A and B are shown apart, each in its own frame.
Chain A
Amino acid sequence: MPDGLDGDLLERFVQGDQAAFESLFRQFEADVYRWIVRIVRDRSAADDVLVEAFWRAYRGRAGFDPTRSFGAWMRRIASNAALDHLRAARTRAGWRTADDRIPSAPPPDRAIVATLALVEEQPYAEIAEALDLPVGTIKSRVFRATRLLRKELARLGITT
Chain B
Amino acid sequence: MTDDRQLSQLLRTALPSADIPEPSRDLWPDIVQRAGMRERVSAADLSVAAMVVIALLLFPRWFWFLAYHL
Contact = CB atoms under 8 A, between A and B. Distances in A.
Q: Most chain-A CB neighbours within 10 Å: which of B7, B23, B25?
A: B23
Interface string A18-51: 1100100110011001100110010110110011
Contacts of B21: 30, 33-34
A64 interface: no
Given A18-B40, A41-B18, A120-B18, A150 B34 contact: no
Nearest to B10: A160
A interface majority secondary structure: helix
Interface residues of B, number: 25
Given A30-B22, A54-B31, A118 B8 contact: yes
A22 to B, nearest CB: 6
B34 A55 contact: yes
A149 interface: yes
Task: Name the residue among B15, B17, B31, B37 with the largest chain A CB count within 10 angstroms.
Answer: B31
Contacts of A37: 18, 20
B69 interface: no
Contacts of B34: 51-52, 55
A47 B18 contact: no
Contacts of A73: none
A155 to B, nearest CB: 15
A4 B59 CA distance: 54
B17 to A, nearest CB: 6
Counting from the closest, the 7 A-B pairs by CB-CB distance are A55-B34, A37-B18, A51-B30, A160-B6, A160-B7, A118-B8, A58-B35
Interface of B: 3-4, 6-8, 10-12, 15, 17-18, 20-25, 27-28, 30-31, 34-35, 37, 40
